[in-house]
Amino acid sequence: MSDFFKGKRIVVTGGAGFLGKYVIDGLKKRGCKNILVPLIEEYDLIKSSEIKRMYDEMSPDVVIHLAAVVGGIGANREHPGKFFYENLMMGVQLIEQGRQRGIKKFVAIGTVCAYPKFTPVPFKEEDLWIGYPEETNAPYGLAKKMLLVQSQAYRAEYGFNSIFLLPVNLYGPGDNFNPELSHVIPALIKKCVDAIKAGDDYIECWGTGKVSREFIYAADAAEGILLAAEFYNSPEPINIGAGFEIKIKDLAEKISDLTGFKGEIRWNSSQPDGQPRRCLDVSKAKKLFGFEAKTNFDTGLKQTIEWYKRNSGD
């Protein structure tokens, strides 16, 4: 490992969150001593004055911007305005203030939701602008996508070193299992484990189960982000993923099997499926900064299930 992070002050927004904890762990393993996390209780990063105060007090060399207002399909449908405004305001102002202060590097974390609804599979970075995102998460996806435009514009005009990464759906121990906010893997794990405890003979899942998704273990995603932070310094967006896809129906059956749930899986097709397919082309991350996801999907799911069982209040 190099000494890139050792002498630097690194601010990780969202560092207390799911992905943030893995990023901080990765920074510590790299010998970074000055890791600064602006907690939501102390800094409202939607407000310009709070962002200025954070920069004044923390004086970062590098900012890794993970903080986001996120949720599954239900949360995106219920709060499109909130998801658009708060994600946009956080990112745009953090980058602008970072530019004004001459920070050495800004790592903006985008989202797979920024891709057009009907992107050819596997999703290539060059196809990011060929259409409109899937409607249920378009406000969130577009708010994040504007940080790519800003990063490229600021690099062109000011020479500001801001990079933009596109992680696919995350999962792993420590994920958010709140039914109001959770994504598909924690939602399915919770449904199956809770059904076993309650003695229920079926679970209900949204949609048809026919759409596909790609998932990356959070520790792997953190490693990709840190490799990019150290080695990648170009304007083009880069995918961070595992390079595979699985149909939601197959995922539900896999999680049912791994949790030991023996009941029926019922599909509520009156609820939306979301984007038809998701699978990233991950070749650029490997070529440009040597990133490749390492965690076997079944292994990662088992570890996530075990974590939930240990932490679900029993």
pLDDT band for position 314 (cuts 50, 70, 90): low
Q: With 70 as the cut, is the pLDDT of residue 93 above it?
A: yes
Quick: pLDDT tens for 61-86.
999 999 998 777 777 788 899 999 99
* DSSP for residue 135: G
Helical (H) or strand (E) element with 73 = helix 73-78
* Residue 140 among the catalytic residues: yes
Asked if residue 46 has pLDDT above 60, the reply is yes
| pLDDT (average), residues 188-208 | 95
Contact assessment for residue 234 and residue 300, using Cβ atoms and an 8 Å cutoff: no
What is the Cα 208 distance to its own chain's centre? Answer: 24
Q: Residue 126 pLDDT > 70, yes or no?
A: yes
| Torsions phi, psi for 281 (to 5 deg) | -85, 115
Question: Hey, is 201 helix, strand or coil?
Answer: coil
157-180 per-position pLDDT tens digit: 999 999 999 999 999 999 999 887
| Digit-coded pLDDT (tens) for 244-270 | 999 999 999 999 999 999 999 999 999
Least confident range from 57-61, 176-180, 187-191: namely: 176-180
- Per residue in 4-44, pLDDT tens? 998 999 999 999 999 999 999 999 999 999 999 999 999 99
User: What is the pLDDT, as a whole number, of residue 313?
Assistant: 64
Q: What is the Cα Rg of the chain in Å?
A: 19
Coil vs helix vs strand at 225: helix
Which range, of 47-56, 132-141, 269-278, averages the lowest pLDDT? 269-278
DSSP E strands in the chain: the ranges are 9-13, 34-36, 62-65, 105-109, 162-167, 169-171, 202-206, 212-213, 215-217, 238-240, 246-247, 264-268
Lowest mean pLDDT segment, chosen from 6-15, 47-56, 129-138, 173-182: 173-182
Domain boundaries defined on the chain: 9-174+216-243+277-294
Show the tokens assigned to 27. Answer: 């920074």
Query: Number of C-alpha atoms within 13 angstroms, CB side, residue 198?
Result: 11
How many CB atoms neighbour CB 231 within 10 A?
13
pLDDT tens, 268-294? Answer: 999 888 888 999 999 999 999 999 999
pLDDT above 70 covers a percentage of the chain that reads 98
- In whole numbers, what is the pLDDT of the chain averaged over residues? 95
- Among residues 43, 140, 171, 232, the one annotated as catalytic is 140
Q: 79, 308, 54, 18: which is closest to 189 by C-alpha?
A: 308
Residue whose pair of structure tokens reads 């149909």 in the numeric block: 247
Q: What is the pLDDT of residue 273?
A: 85
Residue 1 has pLDDT above 90, yes or no: no
H or E segment to which residue 147 belongs: helix 138-158
Block residue for tokens 């203030």: 97
CATH topology of domain 9-174+216-243+277-294: Rossmann fold (3.40.50)
